[in-house]
Amino acid sequence: MKTLRTTLLVLGGGLIALAPMTAPARGATPTDPGLVTFAAPESIKRLERSRHKVDFFHLANQFESQGNKAFCGPTSSVIVLNAVRMGNDAVAKPQDPLLVSAEDRKVLPPGFDPLFHRYTQNNFFDEKVQEVKTRSEVFGLPRGEAAKPDGGIQLRQLAGMLAAQGLDVKLRILDDSLKDTTIREELKQNLKTEGDYVIVNYFRPVLKQQGGGHISPLAAYDAKSDSFLVMDVNATDQRWVWVKAPSLFASMRTTDTQENRGYLLVKEGKPAQARDTP
């Protein structure tokens, strides 16, 4: 019990809030990540001159903070889902009945529906998503009697969850075969293209931040400073920040529970399994 409490305190708002913290992989020694908070004057300059920021405006319009310390993955997912699908009536979007209590409903006009049709951190866990991982399993419930707890969400699991929601998902695990130049160009292309988004899974200590593994969307890239804007979903303890590209890549090229971290490229698509692509 003492070990679990220590892990929770160390990880804070990190991704794997209920799983052991893992050490950075080789080559991920913390260097100066050049963090610039979003409210800083320098941040305004970077966003103004950026030529890779189409995603920022869609994500900012749908942004929300994670509701608990284990939900950075689901929160990043619903931000992207709402950005992709708001205004698209061809896709049926869910409601979240937990947002209005039974007591509140008693005083509403008869027949009035107070709920919007949009994705939330609660209704993200529909039947298809729970085939990949349930809400209780995210908090540490073993999947079976003989299984070990697998708290939090690994990047490959999140890819499967988003694919279960019908999105087209490309999974990038950052190992030594994926070069920084390739990563930079792929992320830049995504950030300047309408309708597709990036979700990154990184290790905070490499960026000299408190916590452990974490997930958030990317919003923009500035060529002059060679930095990416991370739209951190832990708005309680952290800020949106610009991060030097090499440091961000190093923070993703770290060991998680079973493999390295990385990023997801997400866009609308037919229901399909998440996949790796060369």
Domain residue extents for the chain: 11-276
Range of lowest pLDDT (115-119, 143-147, 261-265): 143-147
List the structure tokens of 118. 């949009």
Q: Where are the alpha helices (DSSP H) in 63-126?
A: 72-85, 102-106
Per-residue pLDDT, 144:
83
Per-residue pLDDT, 147:
84
Which pLDDT band holds residue 10 (cuts at 50, 70, 90)?
very low
Distances (CA, A) of 102 to 99, 111, 120, 126, 183: 10, 14, 19, 21, 49
pLDDT of residue 277 exceeding 70, the answer is no
Q: What does the pLDDT look like over 17-58, one tens digit per residue?
A: 444 344 444 445 557 899 999 999 999 999 999 999 999 999
DSSP element (H, E) containing 227: strand 227-230
Q: What does the pLDDT look like over 50-106, one tens digit per residue?
A: 999 999 999 999 999 999 999 999 999 999 999 999 989 899 999 999 999 999 999
pLDDT of residue 1 exceeding 50, the answer is no
CB 240 within 8 A of CB 230: yes
d(CA 222, CA 227): 5
CB 141 within 8 A of CB 149: yes
Range of lowest pLDDT (1-5, 142-146, 225-229): 1-5
- State pTM to two decimals: 0.88
Percent of all residues in the chain with a pLDDT value above 70, rounded to a whole number: 86
The residue-averaged pLDDT of 102-125 equals 96
CATH domain 11-276 topology:
Cathepsin B; Chain A (3.90.70)
The residue-averaged pLDDT of 225-232 equals 98
pLDDT of residue 125 exceeding 60, the answer is yes
Which pLDDT band holds residue 9 (cuts at 50, 70, 90)?
very low
Range of lowest pLDDT (28-32, 190-194, 196-200): 28-32
Q: What are phi and psi of 173, to 5 degrees?
A: -95, 125
Per-residue pLDDT, 146:
82
Q: What are phi and psi of 199, to 5 degrees?
A: -120, 125
The strand order across the sheet containing 241-244 reads 36-37, 241-244, 227-230, 213-222, 196-203, 262-268, 167-173, 275-276
